[in-house]
Structure 1
Amino acid sequence: MSYTNSPQVYLASTGPIQPVHVLIQQAHLPVHVPVQQAQMPAWNMDTGASSHLTDNTGILTSFSNSSMYPSVFVGNGHSIPVTHTGHSFLHTSSKPLQLNHILVTPHIIKNLISVRQFTHDNDVSVEFDAYDFSVKDYQTRWLILRCDSTGDLYPVTQQPSSQTPIVLLSFSSTTWHRRPGHLGDDVLRRLESRNLISCRKSKLSALCHACQLGKHAKLPFYNFESSVDSVFEIIHSDIWTSPIPSESGIKYYAIFLDHFSHFVWVYPLHKKSDLFDNFVAFRAYVNKQFNVDIKALQCDHGGEYDNTRFHDLFCQNGIQFWFSCPRTSQQNGKSERMLRTINNLIRTLLFQAHIPPSYWVEALNMAAHLLNILPSTAINNEIPFTKLYNQTPTYEHLCVF
């Protein structure tokens, strides 16, 4: 689009218009229209218009039979004449928004508000999204006007002027957090979205010391990631007790989870004391199949782990023993999360197959196999089988449980 030195206005979005001659009106005295008689205009927000445009003077509060812009260039390259210049405003519940220097041209199809001129004259910002647009005070970020948009344009839905002015002071999010009794962020956002409070958001969210002291039952646990470079450097283990014995009398199962590959092995147990023999068998399997030895075992402080047989075995073979503190299952988080994942899958398989809960051991083996050949978020969506064996698993053998 090219600009000339002659005073003209450019418009980006209008409908098809036939070419007309440019008319320059002679200046006359301004005509003022009482506010009560002004019609409610159907305005549309337009980011491509350089001036406000309307097709008649009936929606203006005041107008003049002259204009410094004799014509308007529209999107198809044609020009349409400007007959008057006027002023109006938009009613809101808090304050009127000025519409200055409105150009009247009878050939315009939609009444358009120039976003650029509107924000400059009222010191506001306009935010658009897929459902509506909002007008906010530029300094305080206080919401002044919100209009829904269900069509192709952004129409302005005017709010009737209130007899009693409503003033909502804008405070910081920290102040509004404290005022109603230390609200959570989600509740604060709901109140603000309903325009019940005006919240000036701060760039940095402050940590509330009073909330920490008054609401927390215990100190938080911080994430700790052990760094390993190969398989079987750290094995996580835990035991789960089933509320229902299996068909073969199994009441427990133990897991051994490799930290590096996230591959899991499951061992059904009749008694918790069987754990030691199963660990010895698992260690022998690792030595024979992968030609490495387990370097460390991470587990809770249960008696099935913390006993003389385990301590003697680890001391003789140089295996490290890492216990979590009493009543702090969070320190054995990998094992706890794997148990929860396995149990969720066991229940799902049993419900899907309409099998009694006493067949949970059969579902346990299936669940472990599926988890080992599927991507895991714990290792950035890599596949445990691939990380352990350096091979891609196949899925043709899978059947519905």
Structure 2
Amino acid sequence: MDLQDQGVIDSGCSRHMTGNMSYLTDYEEIDGGYVAFGGNPKGGKITGKGTIKTGNLDFENVYFVRELKFNLFSVSQMCDKKNSVLFNDTECIVLSPNFKLIDESQVLLRVPRKNNMYSVDLKNIVPKGGLTCLFAKATSDESKLWHRRLGHLNFKTMNKLVKGNLVRGLPSKLFENDQTCVACQKGKQHRASCKSKTENSISLPLHLLHMDLFGLTFVKSLKKKMYCLVVTDDYSRFTWVFFLATKDETSGILKSFIIGIENLVDHKVKVIRCDNGTEFKNREMNQFCEMKGILRQFSVARTPQQNGVAERRNRTLIEAARTMLADSKLPTTF
């Protein structure tokens, strides 16, 4: 009977409720359904709501339940107004919305709010030394947010930061990986490697020629040559290097080279593999290759094939540079 005239601060109560209409001001009748509470398994009917004024703090939207013998004040409903509620061994303190926690290290346990109640998940027990600390389980959105904020840090390390209180502002919660970070999934993907052949598919010289043109060089030769054309036979790895003043000379040099080398070796050039540069892909070269029946294969930018051509070209640069300084008038062979 003494509790009928007292208000109980209840963290397990979802809404303010009273069974005494005399405490309510601004009362209005509503059809709020039914509410269940201890001591009365049938519960009670919500027939109205009003305000209980206490001076500095007013309790608004207090439900009137005639069958209720207590006056219950919901902690979650007070927090909805941005107030903080503090319990200690002697009293309960309702703090203003301006209250800020000075030191996060003083927080020993954080319990999340769910369904207007604050409940501890006893399954999430994290041992620390000889003590047992309880951490609230972070929601999926919180885990994703802090995972991105910390530079996509793995979740095991994130929980170590929480236990050691090593990051200011990091919530004291247990973070779990739900495997939904697209950036991490793509970052761990591996590109399939191109396996090298154990046997060469080319059986004759001049069957396949690799060629590339590089320039402008930083230093001109004595004959003002600034470009270098490298041609490599796929079967023998024999390499020819030609020095050019301009790119326009490429088509003429290649035509003369192919005709001459075919007569010298008594084999036909069947395939030319190069990039999509205009020095290889033009009307003059198109007509010449069509007349000779030469198939051309153009590599795509940044592919293993083109990278392989570049590697073979780079291996000849040092020797080509030496010959370029000598400014030989005839094509140099290696």
Same structural fold, with TM-score higher than 0.5 when normalized by the shorter chain: no
TM-score by length of 2: 0.40
TM-score by length of 1: 0.34
More strand, by proportion = 2
